[in-house]
Amino acid sequence: MTQLLLALAAFVALHSLPALPAVRARLVAAGGRAAYLVGYSLVSLLALGWVFHAATNAEYIPLWDTAPWQGHLTLATAPVGLFLVLAGLLSVNPASISFRRGSQPGAIVAVTRHPVLWGFLLWSLGHLAPNGDLRSLILFGGFAAFSAAGIPVLERRARRRLGTRWAPFAAATAVLPFAAMLGGRARPTLDRPLLVALALAALTTFWLLEGGHAALFGVDPRAFLPVR
């Protein structure tokens, strides 16, 4: 478990860097925003790979019994989480994590101001239930806690950064998914990043179900389904 804890700590530390404006500014100034994003993404993928490798090789210590309904929960939440992550990264969003800059926020902000963090949270919680062992609790519970804790941090940063633009932006959006729409403060719309994210999430989900997940992690996510 030691390697898993170290890998998870390194992942959390790496993803805490954007919350340090001085450090982020120096990195961007050294190589430019594009180089920073590419380099940061590559290092993040390597760190994520280390986390999963450590989790796969950690000792299996069962904690609770699993049931088929838990696998259905994963199938319901993981694709939605993946879509939110992709839509958030591909859309302009002045309040949260995004690969893009621009003046017009993407359509996904009508759903929530923090789609990437909500996506990781859904994905993590969906994978936690059907994996009733200690290493999965550390892995997916850690991701879920980190995602949930990041929302108020990004809220404070956005409020300071946007200044007078924060009030009208916050009035038309919400932290909780769909709260702004249900409250009549936002209307559902479609844009290109949203459609691209939907297509990528659907294709990735299909590939994972058809053998990709088993090839990467040694687990078939359809194993709990009844054989016909």
Q: What is the mean pLDDT of residues 155-178?
A: 93
Q: How does the average pLDDT of the chain come out, rounded?
A: 89
Residue 225's pLDDT band (boundaries 50, 70, 90)?
low
C-beta atoms surrounding 20 within 10 Å: 11
Q: What is the mean pLDDT of residues 83-101?
A: 93
Q: What is the Cα–Cα distance from 220 to 141, expressed in whole angstroms?
A: 21
List the Cα angle 141/23/169 in 5-degree steps.
70
pLDDT given at position 70: 86
pLDDT given at position 228: 46
pLDDT given at position 44: 84
Q: What is the mean pLDDT of residues 86-108?
A: 91
Q: What is the Cα–Cα distance from 104 to 39, expressed in whole angstroms?
A: 26
Is-contact 7 49, C-beta < 8 A? Answer: no
